[in-house]
Amino acid sequence: MPTPSNASNATSTIRLHRVLRAPPERIYRAFLDPDAMAKWLPPHGFTGQVHDMDARVGGGYRMSFTNFGSGKRHSFAGRYVELTPPTRVRYTDHFDDPNLPGEMTVTVDLRAVLCGTEVTIEQAGVPAVIPAEMCYLGWQESLQQLAQLVEPEIPDEG
């Protein structure tokens, strides 16, 4: 059983798997386009804003989610560790809130399959103060919104 001194250092790892009816290139772009991220990444009940983004290895981003009901804002930032178009995005995340310590690593793998793209996500280092089931719920909502963004085939207006 963890002692109180190291219990706050405990982390969890979240793993998700989906198949989306969209090409890997479109999904890859949704992870690196600030307007797209502001649309699909915030879970239900939150709005999102991307404050800065430099989508290259070694570059970073800063983003915030705002609880629409309470107005409370949670900001976070990270850096891109690996970008392999259109198959992998790996980045770090850390919250600005000192009550949410540590650095998380998110790895997104995309693999073309017959009906679209297999998406596998691992988020490691989730602070113990965030219950794993709440993290899963948030990701499920985000991925549902990602599907709504990337799956429609909308003809060019040109």
Please report the pLDDT score of residue 10 as a whole number.
84
Q: Which amino acid does the sequence have at 72?
A: K
Structure tokens at 153: 């085939």
Please report the pLDDT score of residue 158 as a whole number.
65
Please report the pLDDT score of residue 6 as a whole number.
46
Rounded Cα–Cα distance for residues 142 and 128 (Å):
21
- Average pLDDT along the chain, 158 residues, taken 10 residues at a time: 51 97 98 98 97 98 98 97 98 93 96 98 95 95 98 86
Cα–Cα distance list, 46 to 51, 139, 146 (Å): 16, 13, 15
Cα–Cα distance list, 2 to 71, 128, 130, 151 (Å): 35, 12, 17, 44
Contact between 81 and 105 (Cβ < 8 Å): yes
* Domains assigned to the chain: 4-150 (3.30.530.20)
Please report the pLDDT score of residue 1 as a whole number.
42
